[in-house]
Amino acid sequence: MLRAQRGKESKERFLWTLEMACETECRPLGVFTCQLCALTAPYSYVGQKPPDTQSVVLLEESYVMKDPFTSDKDRFLILGSKCSLCSRLVCVGPECSLFYSKRFCLPCVQENIDAFPQEIRQDLEKRKVPSKRPASQPSSRT
């Protein structure tokens, strides 16, 4: 009985397996949006220990996506996380947040700048310098 439709069934089975795999692995949980720079990206995991990574424990609860540029299973990108003060979602970009034992969005850092050590302040001063990089890299779309 099964044998008669094996070809079809195994194909369906295969697709189903793929779908199941995707459900746990590559289906994004949602879309991460940085509340400061409006960066958006689909994330597939939130927490401190991304799946498929061996002995990786993040210092903070982070929004994580699989690295789309590699098929390597345990490569992932940290998109951002919550500011520990105002709990805004911010990306890890240097213009949006910094990590100093916890994640802080830059507005919160500015507000509480006295609470941060000098090295952080200096670092921020550096960040303020507008880095005008001309977008000269041609996109190599074919």
Q: What are the Cα distances from residue 138, in Å, to 7, 134, 135, 142? A: 46, 11, 8, 11
Specify the stretch interacting with Zn ion by CB under 5 A; choose among 42-50, 66-74, 100-108, 124-132: 100-108
* 108 is a site residue for Zn ion (CB under 5 A): yes
Q: What is the token pair recorded at 135?
A: 């977008």
Alpha-carbon gap, residue 99 to 78, rounded angstroms: 13
Alpha-carbon gap, residue 91 to 31, rounded angstroms: 12
* 109 is a site residue for Zn ion (CB under 5 A): no
Nearest distance in Å: CB 102, Zn ion: 10
Q: What is the token pair recorded at 2?
A: 């099964």
* 92 is a site residue for Zn ion (CB under 5 A): no
Q: Which is nearer to Zn ion, 42 or 93 (CB)?
A: 93
Site string for Zn ion, 111-140 (x = CB under 5 A): ------------------------------
Look-up: residue for tokens 């890890």?
Answer: 92
What is the Cα gyration radius of the chain?
21
* 34 is a site residue for Zn ion (CB under 5 A): yes
* 85 is a site residue for Zn ion (CB under 5 A): yes
Q: Which residues form the interface with Zn ion (CB under 5 A)?
A: 34, 36-37, 39, 83, 85-86, 91, 93, 96, 105, 108
